[in-house]
Structure 1
Amino acid sequence: MLKPRLQELCVCRPILDDAHIRDFLEFLENPEDASRAYAFAAGLIEKAESLGLAGNILRAYFLHVLARTENTFARTLEQTAGSAGKSLRRAFVRDMELLSDIFHEPPSAMLPFDLLDDYEPTKRRTSETLSFLHERMEQATSAEDAANALLAFYQRYGCGEISSYKAFSWNEKEHRLQGVEHFEALPLADIIGYDRQKKQLTDNTEAFLAGRPANNVLLIGARGTGKSSSVKALAHEYYGKGLRLVQLAKSQLGELPRILAALRKFPSKRFILFLDDLSFEEFETEYKYLKSAIEGGVEARPKNVLICATSNRRHLIKESWRDRDQAQDELYRQDSMNETISLSDRFGLIITFLAPDQEQYHAIISHYLEKEGVRLAPEELRVLAHRWELEHSGRSGRTAQQFVLHYLGQMRK
């Protein structure tokens, strides 16, 4: 029976802290105790079901842990634009030699059963990241090849949570990024219409990803027109090119210095700081943190960070006629007016989403119905959609989607 020398790992040693890999190690140290092997198998089968791992799930799980666990090699690649010194690379290749049995042999060569050799989970779920890594590992015939496969993975996706999530929130208690487990984003192709607006947004994003000058973006306009969906779609569209979304609440703007410092540690990745449905009352002063982050602060905004905000308001700081009346007594009234509009002006690209016309409204409904295999006659669609529009809050992409959900729900009774 094979006995991989996992205790000799150096660069990849952090994977030994994983609870299931520790169970595997305990069996390797005590191969006469079959109960340890079955305890390990029980944990691994549970992981296979929750993660959707298939085939040789011992190898699949080790690759999952290698992708999710930070190590010196991956961190060095992140900080040096993808290069590692000869000595570090040599140590990493040696680790790949120690893991070669895991990568190339069936689990039954190391365990007293074949339960894990060709496992088929109840629901197979293959992430983009693990598919990338599995494909390259299957082609690897040497430790050098395996090292190159992981090198390509780390260069493309990074390591740890940054490699596994498209979107993040900010954990204020622990002062760190936290991956969003269930991030839902429409593909840009499913945001019907607004072709000019989407092109402005993607052109700016592609310039940002390529390291060319790019503007911070403010998306304004009617409610329910796809402003937020368009920004979230960028994380879905450009994830493989290193883009990540970090969504912040208005109340977290005071954390911006810490957040920017955290993002600065990932120079090979590009981050969009996303502020959804943004506006400020006159008494709310958090906007000053945002103004400073966009431009003008003592510490420059990292080059790998872009700010995108959505709002139903062109001017993000609310001003009333009463405010203007009260300002008549102010000696420098123009200064106050400049203060209220200066935040919007700091976004170099302002994209406007108007409410859809009737033709576009019908096109949105048709698109989503056809995705579900339903096609309505034009006249029936016109009558039903118009009735829904009158009974609800007018024409918008959100109203169109709500109509589709209602129609499908009633149709499938």
Structure 2
Amino acid sequence: MYSIIDDLILYRNLKFEDTISEFWTLNKDSVDTSKTIAGLLEVAGEYGLDGNLWENILALALAYNENVYSKATEIIGETKGSINTFALHDFKIFRDLFHYVPDIEDELLDAISHYVGNGRDSKLVNTRVRDRILRLSKQLSSAKSDEEFKNIVTEFYKEYGVGKFGLNKAFRIEESNDLNSANIIPITRVEHVYLKDIIGYDIQKKKLTHNTESFINGKPANNCLLYGDAGTGKSSSVKAIVNEYYDKGLRIIEIYKHQFRYLSDILEQLKDRNYKFIIYMDDLSFEESELEYKYLKAILEGGFGKRPENVLIYATSNRRHLIRESFRDKTETDEELHSRDTVEEKLSLSARFGEKIYYGSPDKKEFNGIVLSLAKKHGIDMDEKEILAKANMWELSHGGMSGRSATQFITYLQGQK
């Protein structure tokens, strides 16, 4: 059966395409009225929608559709050329869809047009993304012309981007049946930590910030290795960087060691997008028998599958050289003739990171300062001497003096209120 969306040129393979087509043909005599409305409600529940569900779903379809026009305008904004003619053609159709009113019972139509959700968070997107979609929906509904409609969508792409990379800041790798390809999946719950939340380590944060700003501004920047003692804020610093610069097009993709074989495919998926990507490797280290480092080394060194300019690698590790140095590593009489070369190859891996930033454990004075700062931030009403006495007892049985043990101590105090 013909549907108006069949006339779209750029915006093919829409998200919710079946639901949109079914709603477009809906009337009082439709056999599948209940099924179609159920489809709208299912989307509303998954994305935490409120208001006009029909318009919201259309806005979602526009926000997620990655096509020649939307990818050309993401982060950059309005583009030139004949592509605008085809985009305007499609936006005229979308504007007609926004103004469409199905011939169904008034009670059902009113419930769809003024839907009130159950107040639960979206299962698929975070609240920030959901709210942007709802604002886009209202703006497009009020557009006075096809040209204004086009400008609103284009501005949305410029400010937020398009598709999963536009609407999310952090991602993980989902392995596929194909050993050579992987799926990049959004992480919808991201820790809201910022650099100001990491107490101390000002020199380290400054180095990391400088390198990252050079990267997002299109200047030369280095792959970065944050190494040092456990619990000192290495991982938190990387998370904070992404939160700080997300609005400037920075995205992060977390990958685990056993997924390194997908690195070439991941870079291929990222190279033509208008974002800056950090591929993040947390707690990176290699044991003697592990060979995954070869995939990483190939990317760091370059070659036919070299790292694109919009991608950097940030890694954290408790080991400066990324591998465990053992007696067997150092012996000259290994059964395998090439074992020493292998060790040297692994040891040289850290040298491929142009920016190496050391995070050491705080001394007693610094640790006490972290504890008191966190106590003040979280409203702990206790004498300073008592707090420090308890904190110094706490760290003895919780891994020593570190930002992590200080944070855990404050969490403990909060639980005692």
Settle same-fold status: TM greater than 0.5. Answer: yes
Counterpart of 2:355 in structure 1 is 349
> What's the RMSD between the two structures over aligned residues?
3.3
Shift of 1:178: 1.9
Identity %: 39
Query: Are 1:145 and 2:145 an aligned pair?
Result: no
Shift of 1:248: 1.1
Query: Are 1:384 and 2:366 an aligned pair?
Result: no
Counterpart of 1:205 in structure 2 is 212
1:327, 1:333 within 8 Å by CA — same for their partners in 2?
no
Counterpart of 1:243 in structure 2 is 250
- Secondary structure of the 1:297 match is coil
1:56, 1:107 within 8 Å by CA — same for their partners in 2?
no
Shift of 1:366: 4.3
Q: Residue type of the partner of 2:89?
A: R
Counterpart of 1:375 in structure 2 is 381
Please give the alpha-carbon distance, in whole angstroms, between the structure 2 residues aligned to 1:399 and 1:17. 47
Q: Residue type of the partner of 1:121?
A: G
Q: Residue type of the partner of 2:225?
A: L
Please give the alpha-carbon distance, in whole angstroms, between the structure 2 residues aligned to 1:57 and 1:371. 41
- 1:59 and 1:264, CA in 2 relative to 1: closer, same or farther beyond 3 A? same
Larger mean CA deviation between 396-405 and 151-160 belongs to 151-160
Counterpart of 1:115 in structure 2 is 111
- Secondary structure of the 1:238 match is helix
- Secondary structure of the 1:99 match is helix
- Secondary structure of the 1:245 match is strand
Q: Residue type of the partner of 1:11?
A: L
2:278, 2:312 within 8 Å by CA — same for their partners in 1?
yes
Shift of 1:134: 5.1
- 1:191 and 1:83, CA in 2 relative to 1: closer, same or farther beyond 3 A? same
Please give the alpha-carbon distance, in whole angstroms, between the structure 2 residues aligned to 1:53 and 1:330. 61
- 1:340 and 1:161, CA in 2 relative to 1: closer, same or farther beyond 3 A? closer
- 1:336 and 1:117, CA in 2 relative to 1: closer, same or farther beyond 3 A? closer
Query: Are 1:228 and 2:235 an aligned pair?
Result: yes
Larger mean CA deviation between 383-392 and 212-221 belongs to 383-392
Long gaps (5+) in structure 2: 122-126
Alignment coverage as a number of residue pairs: 402
Query: Are 1:162 and 2:170 an aligned pair?
Result: no
Shift of 1:311: 0.4
Query: Are 1:257 and 2:264 an aligned pair?
Result: yes
Query: Are 1:88 and 2:95 an aligned pair?
Result: no
Counterpart of 1:64 in structure 2 is 60
Q: Residue type of the partner of 2:298?
A: S
- Secondary structure of the 2:232 match is coil
Query: Are 1:44 and 2:40 an aligned pair?
Result: yes
Please give the alpha-carbon distance, in whole angstroms, between the structure 2 residues aligned to 1:372 and 1:353. 25
> Per-residue displacement from partner, 1:188-209 (whole Å, max 9, x unpaired)?
2222221221121111111101
- Residue 319 of structure 1: which of 306, 317, 325 is its match? 325
Q: Residue type of the partner of 1:163?
A: G
Shift of 1:406: 2.1
> Per-residue displacement from partner, 1:76-131 (whole Å, max 9, x unpaired)?
446x965655433122222222222554x596898733113333333273427536
Equivalent runs, 1:247-286 vs 2, <5 Å: 247-266=254-273, 268-286=274-292
Please give the alpha-carbon distance, in whole angstroms, between the structure 2 residues aligned to 1:67 and 1:13. 13
Long gaps (5+) in structure 1: none
- 1:24 and 1:336, CA in 2 relative to 1: closer, same or farther beyond 3 A? closer
- 1:329 and 1:69, CA in 2 relative to 1: closer, same or farther beyond 3 A? closer
- 1:57 and 1:285, CA in 2 relative to 1: closer, same or farther beyond 3 A? same
> Per-residue displacement from partner, 1:249-291 (whole Å, max 9, x unpaired)?
111222222222122132x111111111111122222212212
Query: Are 1:215 and 2:222 an aligned pair?
Result: yes
Q: Residue type of the partner of 1:203?
A: H
- Residue 402 of structure 1: which of 398, 408, 415 is its match? 408
- Secondary structure of the 1:115 match is helix
Q: Residue type of the partner of 1:249?
A: Y
- Residue 199 of structure 2: which of 175, 192, 200 is its match? 192
2:5, 2:21 within 8 Å by CA — same for their partners in 1?
no
Q: Residue type of the partner of 1:157?
A: Y
- Secondary structure of the 1:271 match is strand
Q: Residue type of the partner of 1:242?
A: G
1:56, 1:106 within 8 Å by CA — same for their partners in 2?
no
Equivalent runs, 1:294-333 vs 2, <5 Å: 294-326=300-332
- Secondary structure of the 2:13 match is helix
- Secondary structure of the 2:227 match is strand
1:197, 1:351 within 8 Å by CA — same for their partners in 2?
yes
When normalised by structure 1's length, the TM-score is 0.85
Please give the alpha-carbon distance, in whole angstroms, between the structure 2 residues aligned to 1:12 and 1:82. 18
Counterpart of 1:171 in structure 2 is 174
Equivalent runs, 1:123-142 vs 2, <5 Å: 123=119, 125-127=127-129, 129-130=132-133, 133=136, 137=140, 140-142=143-145
Please give the alpha-carbon distance, in whole angstroms, between the structure 2 residues aligned to 1:135 and 1:25. 20
Shift of 1:25: 2.5
- Secondary structure of the 1:114 match is helix
When normalised by structure 2's length, the TM-score is 0.84
Please give the alpha-carbon distance, in whole angstroms, between the structure 1 residues aligned to 2:85 and 2:361. 59
